[in-house]
Amino acid sequence: MRKAVDTVFRYLAVLQCVPAHPARKTTTRILAELREKDPEFNVSARSMQRSLEQLSARFPITCETVGRTNHWYWIDSHAMTQLPAMTEHTAFALRLANEYLRPLMPPATLRLLDSYFNHANRLLKGSALGRWANRARIVARGPLLTPPPVKEDVQRAAYNALLNDRLLEINYRSRSQQRSQRVALNPLGLVFRETVAYLVASAWHYPDVRHYALHRMSKPRLLDQPAGTPPGFRLASHIRDELRFSYPLASGNIPLRAAVSPEVAEHLAERRLSGDQRIARHADGRIVVEASVANTQELRWWLLGFGSAVEVLSPASLREEFAAQSRAMQAMYETEAPS
């Protein structure tokens, strides 16, 4: 039964089945995959050949003829079409997302999303929204840190190794040693800390689990040997243990009480620290914030950043930490600056 809608449907399925550039599929493979996915895919091989040929006239797909068989692929993965089409609002949101993510994500990971951002930009360029570049600004916290560049092949290999549970052989240039060293890693997880991506892995024979920054890797090679997970390994608990000293992620919450300046109170009135946050204005003019928050290092950073605009009242242990911190700082700054 030949209906144009069916044809459209089928063509879309074909287009979705054709892979993006580095990969490719033969005509018969595409047909087989589609037949398997949808049993009512009753077209002859000839029709499939014709479909692909037709589609290649209007979409950026081509075939490379090796021998007698055609291998199909998308030429330009940046040329993207989607149904339904992206709206201007969504395009704008994507543009914002891009700006937000740029200082946070490893560049190689971000590059995977480039086609989306490009698509959004192309859409906005034509419309009145194009001016929005000058009409929206993101005021970020913290300075813009420059993310270290990760080699694209390293990123791909690391993701693949983790995905397929395979050993990953790389040159690793650790911070302490100048020269890089060839190691085979047993990938267990990925941790992103600000802009840096770390592969959580155990080196070849050794049982201990360590962190390897992706940007210090080079010359990746996927080994055929399957990787093994140490019994009982769980990424969440590993992070808690491994990063205990630098970034403790305590499980329990603590009841925080702090006196804050009007500016900070205003800040917190809009973005609450927790669901149960309460802000009370005392008789003496001080504003006290109460909230149960996770007892983390990040909390300390964040509170400390406000300086004298925030005074931790309780828990007593946290107050003592801050008192010690301020004593140390005061001692530091009261001496003359060394040249």
Partner DNA sequence: GGTTAATACGACATAGTGCGTCGCATGAGA
Partner DNA sequence: TCTCATGCGACGCACTATGTCGTATTAACC
Judged by the rule CB under 7 A, the positions of this chain that interact with DNA are 1-8, 10, 26-28, 42-47, 49-51, 53-54, 65-70
**Which member of 63, 168, 188, 201 binds a second copy (CB under 8 A)?**
188
Q: Which 190-229 residues touch a second copy, going by CB under 8 A?
A: 190-196, 213, 215
Asked if 212 contacts 158 with a C-beta cutoff of 8 angstroms, the reply is no
Place of tokens 């459209």: 8
- Span from 26-34, 36-44, 220-228, 236-244 in contact with a second copy (CB under 8 A): 236-244
2's CB contacts (< 8 A; 6+ apart) are none
Burial of 107 from C-beta contacts in 10 A (0-12 / 13-18 / 19+): middle
CB of 250 to a second copy, least distance (A): 12
Q: What is the rounded CA–CA span in Å between residue 286 and residue 210?
A: 47
Asked if 157 contacts 220 with a C-beta cutoff of 8 angstroms, the reply is yes
- Span from 32-40, 130-138, 166-174, 177-185 in contact with a second copy (CB under 8 A): 130-138
Binding partner of 322, given DNA, a second copy, none, CB within 5-8 angstroms per partner class: a second copy
**Which member of 32, 34, 43, 80 binds a second copy (CB under 8 A)?**
80
User: Which residue type occupies 330?
Assistant: Q
Per CB under 8 A, 1 contacts a second copy = no
Q: Which 82-111 residues touch a second copy, going by CB under 8 A?
A: 82-85, 87-90, 92-94, 96-97, 100-101, 104-105, 109-110
3-state SS, residue 288: strand
Closer to DNA by CB, 50 or 244: give it: 50
Q: What is the rounded CA–CA span in Å between residue 289 and residue 51?
A: 66
Strand partners, 226: 166
Closer to DNA by CB, 70 or 186: give it: 70
CB of 68 to DNA, least distance (A): 4
Per CB under 8 A, 283 contacts a second copy = no
Distance from first CA to last CA of the chain, Å, rounded? 86
Per CB under 8 A, 293 contacts a second copy = yes
Closer to DNA by CB, 16 or 181: give it: 16
DSSP 8-state class, residue 230: P
Report residue 313 as tokens. Answer: 């009242």
